[in-house]
Amino acid sequence: MGTSTKNRQPVELLTTKAVVRAVTDAFKKLNPRHMAKNPVMFVVEVGSAFTSFLYIHAIITGRADAPPGFILAVSLCLWFTVLFANFAEAVAEGRGRAQTETLRKARKDIIAKRLKSPCPDIKRVAEHYAAYTEIFEKVASSILHAGDRVLVLAGDIIPADGEIEEGVASVDESAITGESAPVIRESGGDRSAVTGGTRVLSDWLLVRIATNPGETFLDRMIAMVEGAKRQKTPNEIALDILLAGLTIVFLLATATVLPYTLYAVASSGHGVPVPLTVLVALLVCLIPTTIGGLLSAIGIAGINRMMQANVLATSGRAVEAAGDVDVLLLDKTGTITLGNRQATAFFPAPGVSEAELADAAQLSSLADETPEGRSIVLLAKSKHDLADRDIQSLGAVFVPFTAQTRMSGVDFEGRCIRKGATDAIAKFVEAKGGTLSLTVRSVVEDIAKKGATPLVVADGARVIGVVQLKDIVKTGIRERFAEMRRIGIRTVMITGENPLTAAAIAAEAGVDDFLAEATPEAKLVMIRDYQQKGHLVAMTGDGTNDAPALAQADVAVAMNTGTQAAKEAANMVDLDSNPTKLLSIVEIGKQMLMTRGALTTFSIANDIAKYFAIIPAAFVVTYPELADLNVMQLHSPTTAVLSAVIFNALIIMALIPLALRGIPYRAAPASALLQHNILVYGLGGLVLPFPCIKLIDLVLTAIGVN
Amino acid sequence: MTANALLQMVAYFVFLVALAVPLGGYMARVYTHEAGVAQRGLGAVERCLYRLCGIRADEEMTWKRYAFSVLLFNAVGILAVYGLQRLQHFLPLNPVGLGAVSPEVSFNTAVSFASNTNWQAYAGETTLSYLTQMIGLTVQNFVSAATGMAVLVALIRGWTRRTTEGLGSFWVDLTRSTLYILLPLSLVLAIALVSQGVVQTLDPQATVSLLDPWATDAGEIITEQTIARGPAASQVAIKQLGTNGGGFYNVNSAHPLENPTPLSNFLQLLSILLIPAALCFTFGTLVKDKRQGWAIFAAMMLIFVPMTVLTVVAEQSGTPLLSSLGLHENMEGKEVRFGIVNSALWATATTAASNGSVNAMHDSFTPLGGMIPMVLMQLGEIVFGGVGSGLYGMLIYAIMAVFIAGLMVGRTPEYLGKKIEAFEMKMASLVILLPASAVLLGTAIACVLPAGTAPLGNPGIHGFSEILYAFSSGANNNGSAFGGLTVNGTFYSIGIGLCMLVGRYWVIIPVLAIAGSLAKKKTIPISVGTLPTHTPLFVLLLVATIILVGALTFIPALALGPVVEHLTLSNR
């Protein structure tokens, strides 16, 4: 396989320029209309504004229920909480933007040659372009619409995504894939799609533009990363509801404290009601600001990670669904096995030595440039030390493979060496008066049973043996499948081969199931069948005939080399066109959900410590006895409340890298993952704030706050 | 804690499990129409009832229709009980000639019994006629419990069915719950209670001569006592089994004719938790994975047992004030024939289940001993909880726990094969949010209105606890009273009445909505990638979710009530 799986260089986390932009964005995002999308942070913003108002009110009127300096300090902490959350989102967007930037640059300022009217002889026009300029108009790529036809000559950049109508050309797609080797693109078949921003190196193409301005895959990707059009995914919405619910509960729990303390003061005749500033601080500490502030950053980071893996997703929903997938449909060729069969063994006929067979087989393959032929030469060389010989110097004549003869070989020194399918060779030797012995036939059958392909070699009328050609399962793929099984994902191999061959390869690769003699219809039926049973199915595809199955699958990854139809039907495109990528896609999806869950748990678990910090401080003015609950021995009510709100703001900042990177993923059963994550993020979230708040309190005390 | 206490508690739990497991299995068969002997015996009655009421036994209701039927049935029940109270002086079976009950108390009582709360703004024997008690309250005791069970069964069908709108028929579930479960069990318990001396008669009150006449302060010699009687045993049986808790007498199961002996006490205590505990196993059987039922049961026990121990310890330790008087245990407000362990066990059981019957006065518990029952109610009446309602509340918490935990394993959360998505989260949030809001807001309003503070028996911190307890009890449909608070005034009658409505019906509607949404979904096959919900880890997680949500909501209020009261007492 020529395609590489190397990832695009990860964008540096923070450059100075990126930080400046993110900080600016963080302030811009204070716009209440933007904040309202995030109920948790909106409440914090309202709290910030309210405490600011309390401070101004205190300064102007000189009346306040708490010292103005304290009110100001709390207010500032709350503003910073909002800003830190906005900053997290802005940083995530910035990284996404940087990643899309390179892709976007590729498509700027391209002048396309658009056909004014249909042209009957485009070949002639393309070859003598200078003479026909009047039938084209030059337009900017940004205004091309679906259905427009443009001519792209050697050296031109393809202005937009489209389908080749006519022509064959080599195309440099390195701008998109990072792979420098040029690829061939031609009309018809499964290699007819071209991507905007790639460059035609030789020949010419007539391209029918497939998308309208702003609707290309890349445009959708950019829109998804950059705020405005970002839509919440179903799971994000559900989590938002939970967070909003908790926010309302805590709003009530804190708001009702005021009447409770009013009653306490009235009935006991001493003390004062809890200050409003403290109530707002308590509220902000209790509502899940950590996850609320980082939620959108986590989502964007998930899409960014997809991009880093050179996968373009059309929606966050698809990224999320990738985590849920429990059935993977994998094409045999290219995904599970290397693209081609290779010779793996020689089986000589009775009375023939293996070396003799190897020699004949190598001779017949010397001029055979197919991968199978090359592999026979190599096998002979490695097993019997037969050096690669030059067919010309031997004076041999190469007989190429044709569909009629279904064999190939060489004629030299009066010998006619042929290799080919069993029945073809049988016919060949019978014509020369020989026969295919029963022994050889049984060898052939044995090889077929093992799922390999037998290639019979004959020298004139004499059959000298069989070469075994086998699909080579990719190294490491078996382990990947075992990993998938460990996390509860079923792998299904799809192949057009007969059930016997398919079964053998399936067993060797370690997939859970296989679909042999697969047709596009059979694939579609299989996907529907799995979905009916409640499974979520992911698949890859590249051909137009894959489109219905891709459209039906829950996660559908189209290869970038595939047809436009396949890309349209899919919800992700793999720029590397590496079908094995599906496994990474699943991992990225899972990692995003896990990060969300872990930070939610962490956020809620944090509340206990904050209660212990604020409750005694808040109520001590009403009931001095509650000072006993000050288990952390915080210096004073002022430092206690400030420590809690400062911690609450800083923890968002501290977790930004985790939110962007995602929590470490490992392939393990759900129960093991749960145990690990609860221990780290649940228990950790419960314990960590205690020392942190205490530390902040010590610092505040040291700098003279009391 | 003493060895005696330990022994009594262990005996209680052993009997509870031994009875609940088989009962749970039987109830599952009732709902799958495989109830064997009972069905052969009572099947004719069931069919006859359906024919009389024009019910189609095989009807499949959508969740909306199911909810509408529940609400309609309960509305009719509320109107009937209201009418009976307002008109009781015109109606028969009123041998003492009790007058009409006031409109606000009638409203409160009607809502209270229909919602399975059984908050008593009235004093049983001196306010309500036999007819009102029998065809008003006792009937509601049965059908309000059966309503809870029906809603639970509908919710469970959300998991057991796939890609369908139908949740079964409310009328059938209601009838079968009453006919095959509540009636037979009540009959057995009532007879057992009568054997212990609980009264069961339609005769009017008895007048007896005192063996030892005594003089009042005014010098009047008292020689006779009037003893209230009535059909108590039959009502007490369903009051306990149906987690109703509304006593025949005003002092409930502390009354010697309602709960005369240690054995009657033990039987009543068992029957408080029996059906709520057994329903866990019904759930496990119905979803065809008994481990799921055990997991839920374990989660309930994991909260219940420590809470009980805490209460017993708090009461056995007494307070510094009692110690200064030479008393080491807090026996104030407790019956000497029951003692501390049985009083504390009852207090936790009755508030863990949304029963609310009492055999001791919770108001007289130590601050921490009184806080535990309050906390158990504030958790949402899900630790056993009401018949049916406790488990459906618990399952909503399981959905919450699964949602958070499920994300941590990298999949869209699912519980028992059904995906938990935005709609379920919305409804689950409502279930948790609304009763909690009713408690917090109700208490807040009572704190600032003179009508709320005037009826307080004890001003100050304890008064606050009394208000908080009253609203916690009402909004979570428990019905037990802290006491010390006069609740038959307009403010509390109406206020708590409204809280009871919110706590019952604004939970039932979202629960049925979840049931409808789940039933429509496909069932996701289980694999190693599925979050297991029967493991000890999940049980711990579920408990942590419940405690955390409950604690975070009520810590400020509790800090200003029982906690500060405790600190004040111990600092003295």
* Least confident range of A17-31, A225-239, B302-316: A225-239
Sorted by sequence, the CB contacts under 8 Å of residue B379 that are 6+ apart come out as: B303, B546, B547, B550
Q: What is the pLDDT of residues A258-269, one digit of tens each?
A: 999 999 888 888
Verify whether the Cβ–Cβ distance A256 to B557 is below 8 Å: yes
Q: Quick check: B511 and B276 in contact, CB under 8 A?
A: no
Q: What's the pLDDT score for residue A230? A: 67
Instruction: Using the predicted structure, report yes or no on whether residue A76 has a pLDDT greater than 90.
Output: yes
What is d(CA B278, CA A541) in angstroms, rounded to the nearest whole number? Answer: 52
User: pLDDT category, B140, cuts 50, 70, 90?
Assistant: very high
Q: What is the pLDDT of residue A216?
A: 67
Contact across the interface for A249 and B405, Cβ inside 8 Å: no
Determine the distance in angstroms separating the CA of A79 from the nearest CA of chain B, rounded to an integer.
Answer: 24
Tens-place pLDDT, residues B142-173: 999 999 999 999 999 999 999 999 999 999 99
What's the pLDDT band for A8 if we cut at 50, 70, 90?
Answer: very low
Residues found in chain B: 572
Predicted confidence at residue B4, as pLDDT, reads 83
Cβ of A607 within 8 Å of Cβ of B549? The answer is no
Nearest CA among B387, B404, B180 for reference residue B280: B387
Q: Look up residue B328 and give its amino acid.
A: H
Beta bridge partners of A136: A115
Cβ of residue A100 closer than 8 Å to a chain B Cβ: no
What's the average model confidence in pLDDT over A270-287? Answer: 90
In angstroms, the CA A262 to CA B447 distance is 8
CA dihedral A663, A669, A675, A676 (to 10 degrees): -30
Distance between A238 CA and the closest CA of chain B, angstroms: 4
Is B408–A598 a contact, with Cβ atoms under 8 angstroms apart? yes
Question: Residue B57 pairs with which residues in a beta bridge?
Answer: none
pLDDT at A692 > cutoff 70 = yes
Q: Which residues contact B400 (CB under 8 A, 6 or more apart)?
A: A242, B428, B432, B545, B549
Residues of A in contact with B553 (CB under 8 A): 249-250, 252-253
A331 belongs to the catalytic site: yes
Average of per-residue pLDDT across B109-122: 89
Torsion sign across C-alpha atoms B97, B102, B107, B109:
negative
Percent of chain B with pLDDT over 70: 99
Backbone angles phi and psi of B245, in degrees to 5: 95, -10
Res A51 pLDDT > 80:
yes
pLDDT in tens, A511-528: 999 998 888 888 889 999
Q: Cβ–Cβ of B527/A286 closer than 8 Å? A: no
Q: What is the pLDDT of residue A336?
A: 81
Q: What pLDDT shows up at residue A10?
A: 46
Predicted local distance difference test score (pLDDT) of residue A11: 45
Of A244, A597, A628, the CB nearest to B407: A597
What value does the mean pLDDT take over residues B553-559?
92
Tens of pLDDT, residue by residue over B30-45, are 999 887 777 788 889 9
- CA A583 vs. chain centroid, Å, equals 9
Q: Compute the Cα dihedral for B22, B27, B28, B34 and give only its sign.
A: positive
pLDDT in tens, A617-640: 888 888 888 888 888 899 999 999
pLDDT of residue A302: 87
* Confidence band, pLDDT 50/70/90 cuts, at residue B111: very high
The predicted structure's pLDDT at residue A222 = 66
Ordered by start, the domain boundaries in chain B are: 22-208+227-570
pLDDT tens digit sequence for A577-625: 777 788 888 889 999 999 999 999 999 999 889 988 998 988 888 888 8
Q: What is the pLDDT of residues B162-213, one digit of tens each?
A: 999 999 999 999 999 999 999 999 999 999 999 999 999 888 788 888 888 8
Q: How large is the average pLDDT for residues A25-41?
A: 91
Residues of B in contact with A611 (CB under 8 A): 552, 555
Annotate A165-226 with DSSP letters as a single string.
EE-EEEEE-HHHH---S-EEEESSGGG-EE-TT-EEEEEEEEEEE-S-TT-SHHHHHHHHHS
Structure tokens at B207: 């007048």
Give the mean pLDDT of chain B: 90
Q: What is the pLDDT of residue A362?
A: 87
Gap between the Cα atoms of B341 and B403, Å rounded = 39
Instruction: Tell me the per-residue pLDDT of B307-359, one tens digit each, with 9 for 90 and over.
Output: 999 999 999 888 888 888 888 788 888 888 888 888 999 999 999 998 888 88
Show Cβ contacts of residue B218 under 8 Å, excluding neighbours closer than 6 positions.
none
Q: Which of residues 208-237 of A touch B (CB under 8 A)?
A: 234-235, 237
Any idea of the CA torsion for B368, B372, B373, B377, to the nearest 10 degrees?
A: 140
* Residue A237 burial (10 A CB sphere; 0-12, 13-18, 19+): middle
The whole-number average pLDDT for the span A680-695 is 95
Q: How confident is the model at residue A223 (pLDDT cuts 50, 70, 90)?
A: low
> How far is residue B353's CA from residue B377's CA, in Å, rounded to a whole number?
8
For B520-542, write each residue's pLDDT tens digit. 998 988 888 888 999 999 999 99
In this prediction, residue A399 has a pLDDT band, given cuts at 50, 70 and 90, of confident
Instruction: Report CA Rg, chain B.
Output: 23
Q: Please tell me which of the candidates A259, A486, A601 has its beta carbon nearest to residue B528.
A: A486
Per-residue pLDDT band at A27 (split at 50, 70, 90):
very high
Rounded mean pLDDT, A501-512:
87
**Mean residue pLDDT across chain A:** 85
Question: pLDDT class for A664, splitting at 50, 70, 90?
Answer: confident
Inter-residue contact A455 to A341 (CB < 8 Å): no
Distance CA B430, CA B436 (A): 10
Cβ atoms of A400 and A389 within 8 Å: the answer is no
pLDDT for A339 equals 64
Question: A158, A217 in Cβ contact below 8 A?
Answer: no
For the ranges A103-107, A482-486, B492-496, which has the lowest average pLDDT? A103-107
A488 touches chain B (CB under 8 A): yes
Q: Where are the alpha helices (DSSP H) in B161-252?
A: 170-176, 183-195, 232-241
CB pair distance less than 8 Å for B556 and A256: yes
Query: What are the residues facing A194 on neighbouring strands?
Result: A162
Q: Write the DSSP string, A383-430.
A: HH------HHHHT-EEE---TTT-EEEEEETTEEEEEE-HHHHHHHHH
Tell if the CB–CB gap between B411 and A323 is shorter than 8 Å. Answer: yes
Candidates A40, A239, A252, partner chain B, best to mutate (most B CBs within 10 A): A252
- Measured between beta carbons, the chain B residues lying within 8 angstroms of A533 are 522, 525
3-state DSSP helix/strand/coil % of chain B, to nearest 5 = 65, 5, 30
Q: Any long-range contacts for B176-179 (C-beta under 8 Å, 24+ apart)?
A: B176/B30, B176/B31, B176/B35, B176/B46, B177/B30, B177/B145, B177/B146, B177/B149, B177/B150, B177/B153, B178/B142, B178/B143, B178/B146, B179/B42, B179/B45, B179/B46, B179/B49
**Over residues B431-436, mean pLDDT:** 94
Q: Are A497 and A453 contacting, i.e. CB atoms less than 8 angstroms apart?
A: no
Would the pLDDT of B544 be above 60? yes
Give the pLDDT of residue A107: 55
Q: What is the per-residue pLDDT for A9?
A: 45
Output the pLDDT for position B558: 93
